[in-house]
A and B are shown apart, each in its own frame.
Chain A
Amino acid sequence: MTAQAPFPPYPHRHLLGIKGLSPLDIENLLDRAEAAVAISRGADKKRATLRGRTQINLFFEASTRTQASFELAGKRLGADVMNMSVASSSVKKGETLIDTAMTLNAMRPDILIIRHSAAGAAALLAQKVGCAVVNAGDGAHEHPTQALLDALTIRRARGRIAGLTVAICGDVLHSRVARSNIVLLNALGARVRVAAPSTLLPSGIEQMGVERFARLEDALADADVVMMLRLQRERMAGAFVPSVREYFRYHGLDQAKLSHAKPDALVMHPGPMNRGVEIASAIADGPQSVIQEQVEMGVAVRMAVMEALLEGAAS
C-alpha cells in the first residue's frame, strides 16, 4: 500500500465475480489485502492512495455490514465516499437500475459499489457506466469480496488454501457467498464439500466442483474449515425446510457436529448470523470461530480491491 505500487497490476476493469479471475489474480489481491491489514491496525488509518477519487455505494438491498465495510475501506484510502440510500431514492418511484446508473455515471464517480437482489445486476451496470464496478452481491450469483475475505482469513490462519478441506454448509441454493467461494476455493486448490438439506442445493451441484453431503457430520469429517451460511427466516417455515428446530437439529452447527471436524478447524460465517438456527451461540463465540476476523479482513480486502481497480484505471 505504498505509492510505488509493488503489486502486479490487476488485469480487469471491474470485479464482478470470482469467475473470470485467474488463481494468480486472486493471490495478488490477497497479497495486497495482507498489506492493507497493517493500515487498519495502525494508529494512523488514513492513506492518500485514493485521494480525490469518488466512490459511490449503491445498495439496492439493505446491508449495514457490507456497506459500512466498503465505506470504511474507501475512507481509509482517502476516497470521497457517498452512500446511495435506496429507500429514499427515486428507485422506489419506478426508475430502473439503468436509469439510476446513468444518472450516477453522469456525476463522474471513479468507482461504483453495487448490491442488488437480481443476479447479473452488477454486470448490467458495468456495461452502462464509465467507471470501475465492484459487485457487492447480486442476487444468488456472486459476492466476490466475501469470498476473498474468507480466503484471506483462511490463508492467514493456515498459511495456505491448497489441499485444505472446506465444508460449505447450509442454504447453498440461494447463496451468492457459496457460489463465489466454490469458484475461489477450487481455483486455489482446496477440496470443497457442501452439506445442506437437498431442497437447498442447486440443480447440477455435483458438477460444480464440490462433493455433496446430506448429513452435516459427514461433510465435517476431518474438515479444515467449516463455513456456515445464513438461512433466511422466510425459507424455514415449510417451503424449503419444515421448521427451525428441525433445521437446527440436522444442519445447525453445534459442538457435537463440530467434533467431527479437525480439532483446530476454523468456523466461519459471513454474517449476519441466526444464532440457534444455523449455528449455536457457543460455537459462534467459541475458540474456533474466526467470524470477527472475517469482518476485519473484509475491510482489508475491499481496500485492496478498490486500490487495484483504480490503479489499473489510472494507468
Chain B
Amino acid sequence: MKPVVLKGGRIVDPSQNLDETGSVVILDGKIADAGASVLNQGAPDGAEIIDCAGLTIIPGLIDTSVHIGEPGAEHRETIASASAAAAAGGVTTIAMMPDTDPVIDDVSLVEFVLRTARDTATVNVLPTGAVTKALHGSEMTEFGLLKQAGAVFFTEGRKTIDNALVMRRALTYARDFGAVIAHETQDRDLASSGVMNEGLFASWLGLPGSPREAEAIPLERDLMLARLTGGLYHAAKISAAMSARAIRRAKDDGADVTAGVSINNLALNENDIGEYRTFFRLSPPLRAEDDRLAMIEALRDGTIDIVTSAHDPQDVDTKRLPFAEAASGAIGLETLLAVALRLHHNGDVGLLRLVEVLSTNPAKRFGIAGGTLITGAPADIAIVDLDAPWVVSEADIVSLSKNTSFEGARLQGRVMRTLVAGRTVFAQE
C-alpha cells in the first residue's frame, strides 16, 4: 500500500488536545505521524499527496447507534449501503444495533455481520449484541462468547428492559468481561401509546404524548443498578433535561456511567413535527426547546459523552402513514457531522469538544480502535471543509432509505474525503 500524506490542513485531534496546522503521514494504513512538526518534512518515497489546504483533518467519526436492515429488511438498508452512507458522512466506524431479523443474539449472527462487512463494506462495521435473547428482556445472551466473536457492546436497540432484576444481572455479569450495557430507556406503561413529547403541542395535534418521566424513571433505576453493581452503563440516547440531571448525579457518585444523545435531540425540537410530519417521529421523541438547550449544555459540561446519528432507515411503507401509525426513526449518517457543526458555527460547542463526542469518546468508552490521530492508530480520517455550505436533498442521499429529518436544510461544513485504514473510501466530487 502506497504511503499517503495529508498535507497542510488544520488538524483537530481531541485525543492529544491538538488543534494546529500540519500534515498527516500514513504508512500501511496507520498514522505514522501527525501535526505541525511533520508539515515541512519530506514525504516518503512514492507517497500519494493529498492537499488539505483550507481543510480540517479529524479522526473519523464513530457512530454507536446505527440501525441496519441486514439481515431481515434489506430493502431499507444493507450493510453495504449503510457503509456507503457512513463514508459520505465522514463516519469511519459504525456500531450496528442488534435488532435485526434475526436478532444478533448469537455468535453466528456476529460472524455473519463481520463476514458481510468484510465482503461488502468500506467502513468499519461492528456488530453489537443483544442483552437478552431475541430481545425478549428475560434471558441473558452469551456476553463472553459474543464479545470474543466481535460484539462491541450490548444493547437492546430500541427496546427497554422492563425487568430490574434482568438489568441488574446483566450489568453484574457483563462487568466480568468489561462489556458496556447501552440502554435506551422508555417505561412501556408510562409512555403508553405516546408518539411524541407530551405537552401542549401534542394536545393540539390530538396525538398521545409520552412524558419525559417515561424516559427518566427507568434511567434512574438503571443508574441505581449501575451504582449497586459497579457495572459499565451507557445511557444510549437521552432527550430530557431531567435525564441529564440524573446522569450528572450518577457521575458525581462515581458510577461508571456515560451518556449519549441523538443529533436530532441537539438540533430539533417538537415544533419541527409541524403538521404531522412523520420524518420527525423519532425515538426518543423530539422534546421542547428547553430540553434541546439542556442537551447542548450537558454536552458542553461533560454530562453527555457521545453524540450519535441514531440512523434508522425507514421506507415509505412505514413512514407514509398517519403520524401515530408511522414507524419512528430517521436516517442520519450523512448529515451527522454537518448538523453537529451547527453547534460549532453558532458558538455553542467548541470544535475540539465536538470531535471528541463524535469520535474520541465513543472509541474510548467502547474500546473501539480509532478516534485519534496518534502514531500507530488506524488511519481512519475525515477531511472536512468546515465552512462549505450545502443543502440536504433527497436526490443526493446515499442511504437506501430517504427518511431524513433535514430535507432541504442548509448546512455548513462538508466532508470532502473519508479514509479508512489509509484508503480513500469517499471523495466529494
Known: A138-B206, A179-B204, A202-B203. A118 touches B323 (CB 8 A): yes
A123 touches B276 (CB 8 A): yes
Taking the closest CB of chain B, its distance from the CB of A61, in whole angstroms, is 12
> Which chain A residue has the least Cβ–Cβ distance from B208?
A140
A118 touches B203 (CB 8 A): no
Looking at the complex, which of B43-51, B194-202, B331-339, B359-367 is the stretch in contact with chain A?
B194-202
Taking the closest CB of chain B, its distance from the CB of A188, in whole angstroms, is 18
Residue B322 is within 8 A (CB to CB) of chain A in the complex: yes
Taking the closest CB of chain B, its distance from the CB of A234, in whole angstroms, is 13
A36 to B323, CA, bound (A): 36
A118 touches B204 (CB 8 A): no
Taking the closest CB of chain B, its distance from the CB of A158, in whole angstroms, is 27
Residue A141 is within 8 A (CB to CB) of chain B in the complex: yes
The 8 A CB mask of A108-133 against B (1 = contact, 0 = none) is 00000000101111011000000000
B211 / chain A contacts, CB cutoff of 8 Å: 203
Pick the residue among A96, A179, A204 that contacts B200 (CB under 8 A).
A204
Residue B145 is within 8 A (CB to CB) of chain A in the complex: no
The 8 A CB mask of A7-31 against B (1 = contact, 0 = none) is 0000000000001000000000000
Taking the closest CB of chain A, its distance from the CB of B320, in whole angstroms, is 5
Pick the residue among A121, A123, A139, A204 that contacts B203 (CB under 8 A).
A204
B275 touches A120 (CB 8 A): yes
Pick the residue among B198, B206, B209, B320 that contacts A139 (CB under 8 A).
B206
> Which chain A residue has the least Cβ–Cβ distance from B322?
A118
A141 to B211, CA, bound (A): 19
Known: A119-B324, A120-B276, A124-B276. A203 touches B206 (CB 8 A): no
Known: A118-B323, A120-B275, A120-B322. A207 touches B200 (CB 8 A): yes
A120 / chain B contacts, CB cutoff of 8 Å: 205-207, 275-276, 322-324
A203 touches B205 (CB 8 A): no
B323 / chain A contacts, CB cutoff of 8 Å: 118-120
A residues 85-109 touching B (CB-CB < 8 Å): 96-98
Pick the residue among B200, B205, B320 that contacts A119 (CB under 8 A).
B205
Residue A205 is within 8 A (CB to CB) of chain B in the complex: yes
Residue A224 is within 8 A (CB to CB) of chain B in the complex: no
B residues 72-99 touching A (CB-CB < 8 Å): none
A124 to B204, CA, bound (A): 17
The 8 A CB mask of B381-416 against A (1 = contact, 0 = none) is 000000000000000000000000000000000000
Residue A208 is within 8 A (CB to CB) of chain B in the complex: yes
A96 touches B317 (CB 8 A): yes
Tier of interface size on chain B: 20 to 34
B276 touches A203 (CB 8 A): no
A140 to B209, CA, bound (A): 12
B203 touches A97 (CB 8 A): no
Known: A119-B276, A120-B275. A203 touches B203 (CB 8 A): yes
Residue B228 is within 8 A (CB to CB) of chain A in the complex: no
Residue A176 is within 8 A (CB to CB) of chain B in the complex: yes
> Which chain B residue has the least Cβ–Cβ distance from A206?
B200
A176 / chain B contacts, CB cutoff of 8 Å: 206
B206 / chain A contacts, CB cutoff of 8 Å: 119-120, 138-142, 176, 179
B residues 322-354 touching A (CB-CB < 8 Å): 322-325
A97 touches B321 (CB 8 A): yes
A179 / chain B contacts, CB cutoff of 8 Å: 204, 206
B198 / chain A contacts, CB cutoff of 8 Å: 203
B199 touches A203 (CB 8 A): yes
B203 touches A119 (CB 8 A): no
A116 to B202, CA, bound (A): 18
A118 to B322, CA, bound (A): 6
The 8 A CB mask of A215-247 against B (1 = contact, 0 = none) is 000000000000000000000000000000000
B199 touches A98 (CB 8 A): no
A207 to B275, CA, bound (A): 19
> Which chain A residue has the least Cβ–Cβ distance from B320?
A98
A118 touches B200 (CB 8 A): no
**Closest 9 pairs (CB-CB, A-B):** A204-B200, A141-B206, A118-B322, A120-B276, A140-B206, A202-B203, A119-B206, A121-B322, A120-B323
28 pairs across A/B with beta carbons < 8 Å? A96-B317, A96-B321, A98-B320, A98-B321, A116-B322, A118-B324, A118-B325, A119-B205, A119-B322, A119-B324, A120-B205, A120-B322, A121-B322, A124-B276, A138-B206, A139-B322, A139-B324, A140-B206, A176-B206, A179-B206, A202-B202, A202-B203, A203-B198, A203-B199, A203-B202, A204-B199, A207-B200, A208-B200
Binding site for A on B (CB under 8 A): 198-209, 211, 275-276, 317, 320-325
